[in-house]
Structure 1
């Protein structure tokens, strides 16, 4: 019986090579599946944000036009925001050769900046956190209430919407309510 000792010496390397090839194939398959799932999730988050900006701009543009204030600075900012949103690709730019060099992050940052400019020109506080992050934050922690002293309240001459100290007194048990 002839046994090639060279094959026995190389046996460990052969098993390693077979395992490596199977691992690469398995990783490629599962990486593709995982990448598509992550891409869909992140794509949805981006379009949710852009949809918010689009709806915000459309509503405010309609309000300003109904007030016959169509020549204001806000209308210009809103029009530019709408142009930026319309220019954002609605498909995967890596498959399209002319959009292959499109900077998605840069474009998204320009849209966010224009949104902030629109909010500043309208005197509206911008919502800068996506709804997914807001809902997760709301689940994890209770909302904090501002602690306004009586002196601060009297100096602003604004009616109190939420009387924090009165609610704590009503709760009993040293300000804790269950």
Structure 2
């Protein structure tokens, strides 16, 4: 009888500690993943705004097309549901942003490798 009681109490205590530990790890993982997505979207926004400012005064047809593509990219960033981490469309929105970023880079003739930016940002401290 005592063995069953101790087994039950031990199970309950272990379950509670495991659930608590799982929540902590889940929050840490969510915060890290959210920070990565935030850095990526922030990079895209800064990239688009910078290029739009650089190209704004040019009036040739090719530049107007590039500016129009940048404006569409900025509009897509603003319309994306990135504020809700539980949104079912989050992955879909991020896939659209990444595809549009590659298109923008192609029209600007610049490499579309975000990984290099992440390596530089990882070494930066404030």
TM-score band, normalised by shorter chain:
0.7 to 0.9
Aligned to 1:74: 66
Which one has more relative contact order, counting CA pairs under 8 Å at least 6 apart?
2
Q: How many angstroms does 1:72 deviate by?
A: 2.6
Structure 1 length as normaliser, TM-score?
0.59
Structure 1 runs not aligned, ≥5 long: 1-6, 95-99, 139-178
**For the aligned residues, what is the CA RMSD?**
2.6
Q: Larger Cα Rg: Structure 1 or Structure 2?
A: 1
Aligned to 1:85: 77
Q: How many angstroms does 1:42 deviate by?
A: 1.1
Structure 2 length as normaliser, TM-score?
0.80
Contact 1:49-1:130 at 8 Å conserved across structures: no
Q: Distance in 1 between matches of 2:94 and 2:60?
A: 28
* From 106, 115, 126, the counterpart of 1:129: 115
Q: 1:130 to 1:48 in 2, by over 3 A?
A: farther
* From 9, 16, 21, the counterpart of 1:25: 16
Point out 4+ residue stretches in structure 1 off by more than 4 angstroms: none
Q: How many angstroms does 1:87 deviate by?
A: 2.1
Q: Distance in 1 between matches of 2:110 and 2:117?
A: 18
1:57 aligns with 2:48: yes
Contact 2:105-2:111 at 8 Å conserved across structures: yes
For residues 93-141 of structure 1, give each alpha carbon's deviation from its aligned partner in whole angstroms, at most 9, with x where no partner exists. 43xxxxx4x3212211110110000010111111231644x25xx9xxx
Structure 2 runs not aligned, ≥5 long: none
1:110 aligns with 2:101: no
Size of the aligned set, in residue pairs, is: 122
Match of 2:110, SS?
A: coil
Q: Judging by fraction of residues, say which structure has more helix.
A: 2
Q: Distance in 2 between matches of 1:38 and 1:20?
A: 26
